[in-house]
Amino acid sequence: MHRNPQRPLSPHLSVWRWGPHMLVSILHRITGSGLATIGALALIWWLTAAATGAEAYEYFVSWAISPYGIFVGIGLSWALFQHTLSGLRHFVMDIGAGFELTTNKFWANMTLVGSAVLTALLWAYIVMVK
């Protein structure tokens, strides 16, 4: 693709710096899509296995408690917490608060830390109850 040298490049290439607020905004979109796609597929598989019979349900459970299933479960739970906390952050910003750069970066970092802590607490609880 040919670029016309008479036209300037977009100013975002030289003006904006990468920051946690940008990462959280992008992660909000990614986690929403991942939850909708992978979460829906897992839910449909679970419901189908439950409706089909004991053998199909046992196969689903064996997959869900396998290392791969646990990996997917941890990823989905992290995505859920990240998306929820990021959504709350965006909600506050929609109200008109939290646009100051230091405040924005602080709460962006807190969504990352909070989602990791909540995921660790959830899976620690799951392991202890098991």
pLDDT at position 25, please?
92
pTM for this entry: 0.84
8/16 Cα distance (integer angstroms): 16
Residue 94 confidence (pLDDT): 92
Place of tokens 């299933």: 69
When pLDDT is cut at 50, 70 and 90, the band that residue 13 belongs to is low
What pLDDT, on a 0 to 100 scale, did the predictor assign at position 98?
A: 87
Query: Tens digits of per-residue pLDDT, 19-63?
Result: 899 999 999 999 999 999 999 999 999 999 999 999 999 999 999
What percent of the chain stands above pLDDT 70?
Answer: 91
Alpha-carbon dihedral angle through residues 29, 32, 37, 43, given to the nearest 10 degrees: 170
**What pLDDT digit, counting tens, does each position of 63-78 carry?**
999 999 999 999 999 9
Query: How distant is the alpha carbon of residue 30 from its chain centre?
Result: 6
**Domain locations in the chain?**
20-129
Mean pLDDT of the chain: 92
Among 38, 64, 33, which residue's Cα sits nearest to residue 50?
Answer: 64
User: 20-129, which class in CATH?
Assistant: mainly alpha
